[in-house]
Amino acid sequence: MSRQLWLASQDTKLQDGFFVHTDFLQFILSGLTTGSIYALIALGFCVVSNTMGIVNFIQVDFVTLGGMFMFTSLFTLGLPALPALVLAVAAVALVAMVLERIGLRPARSANHLVLIFLTVGLSIILRGLIKLVWGTNRMALPPLSSDVPVQILGASVLPQALWIFGLTMLAIAVLTWFFHRTSLGLCMRAVAVNPTAAAVVGIASGRIRLTSYAIAGALGGLAGVLVTPITTLNYDVGVLLGLKGFAAAILGGFGSFPGAILGGLGLGLVESVSAGYLSSAYKDVVAFVLLLLVLCVRPKGLLGR
């Protein structure tokens, strides 16, 4: 390229600078929005993995279930948005606890292969039930508040995105408080560090497993409630989101809570920027290519121990 051409191209770049900047900001913001969702799901994976040492495939359906319960409590029960959200999240947590109690605990097997396949089986059953109850049609959920975009630094942001940021922050704050200030949370951390030693000092493993499923269910449900107004609601909407949440958990270092948050946000950013500048048709592929790359280069993840 000749020098003049180069200068000319720089010139147009400078003129476009403002737009380039807002575009970029737009991508960053939308990346952080989806990233928060991935972070919530990734945290759910980590909680169960830390206490039981298994990959919990039901997490995927907790996300769908969150959206479905939100739909029911908004339209069938006619609740306002915030109580409906609380009800939906609580309901998913309850379902998760029931599943752990009647679906996983009776197995009493220490073989991880058996337990992981059990979660796969329970996930298939749950998806079948969701199909039976809510049908296979696509449904739309209204956002939590108005859908008029807000302008931030020249980029337009949906109020739903602000809800997502806010409630993700809140969830992280509550989790931090729970794991550092309550005795149940401290017990769960003890089990994560050393299950045998925790059992020796008398921490009941059943209660810990039940709590970890409740937390995983609540996090997955919250992610589902928050994200389905942006996507649509379908019986398998959680599958892809859940898989990406898992990719985020590995990206950050599987089992590490700060890692899950960082991995989620990072994955969201990479995905949105690559969709913006490369191609949006293969946007979903990016997450898994990134996952494979991370597993090759740094299998412990960004913050793994």
Partner 1 sequence: MTSIQRLLYFLTLHRTGLAVCMVSLGALLFPVLDDNPYTLGLSHLVAINTLVVLGLNLFIGYAGQISLGHATFFGLGAYGSAIISTTWAVSPWLSLILVALCVALLALVIGIPVLRLSGHYLAMATLGLNFVVYTILIQWDEVTGGPSGFAGIPALSCADFVFDTPVRQHYLLWAFALGAMLLMLNLVRSGVGRGLAAVAGDEIAASSLGVNTQAAKVKIFVLSAVLASLAGSLFAHSFGYISPDTFGIFASTDFVIMVVVGGMGSIWGAAFGAAFLTLLPEWMDIFDTYKDLVHGGILVLVLMFLPQGLVTGLMDMLKIRWALRRHNASA
The secondary structure of residue 139, as a DSSP letter, is: B
Q: Closest CB to partner 1 among 232 and 279?
A: 279
CB 221 within 8 A of CB 88: yes
Collapsing DSSP to helix, strand or coil, 145 comes out as: coil
Start-to-end Cα distance in the chain: 48
Q: Is 136 in the site for partner 1 (CB under 8 A)?
A: no
To the nearest whole angstrom, how small is the minimum distance from the Cβ of residue 304 to partner 1? Answer: 11
Q: Is 111 in the site for partner 1 (CB under 8 A)?
A: yes
Number of residues that bind partner 1 (CB under 8 A): 44
- With CB under 8 A as the contact rule, the residue among 32, 216, 225, 243 that binds partner 1 is 243
Give residues with Cβ within 8 angstroms of 150, minimum separation 6: 156, 157, 158, 159, 162
- With CB under 8 A as the contact rule, the residue among 25, 90, 116, 199 that binds partner 1 is 116
Q: Closest CB to partner 1 among 106 and 202?
A: 106
Phi, psi of 280 (to 5 degrees): -95, -15
- With CB under 8 A as the contact rule, the residue among 25, 120, 230, 303 that binds partner 1 is 120
Rounded Cα gap, residues 164 and 173, in angstroms: 14
* Rg from Cα positions in the chain: 21
Q: Is 148 in the site for partner 1 (CB under 8 A)?
A: no
To the nearest whole angstrom, how small is the minimum distance from the Cβ of residue 254 to partner 1? Answer: 7
Mark 208-245 as b/e (b = at least 16 C-beta within 10 Å): bbbbbbbbbbbbbbbbbbbbbbbbebbbebbbebbbbb
Q: Closest CB to partner 1 among 81 and 120?
A: 120
- With CB under 8 A as the contact rule, the residue among 23, 24, 28, 55 that binds partner 1 is 55
Phi, psi of 54 (to 5 degrees): -125, 160
Give me 84's structure tokens: 């409906």
Q: Closest CB to partner 1 among 27 and 246?
A: 246
Q: Closest CB to partner 1 among 4 and 111?
A: 111
Q: What is the contact mask toward partner 1 in residues 261 to 300, using x (rule: CB under 8 A)? A: --------------------xx-xx-xxx-xx--xx--x-
- With CB under 8 A as the contact rule, the residue among 9, 10, 15, 109 that binds partner 1 is 109
Say what the alpha-carbon torsion angle 93, 97, 102, 106 is, to the nearest 10 degrees: 140
The residue type found at 133 is V
Binding site residues, partner 1, CB under 8 A = 54-55, 103, 106-107, 109, 111-114, 116-118, 120-129, 131-132, 239-240, 243, 246-247, 250, 254, 281-282, 284-285, 287-289, 291-292, 295-296, 299
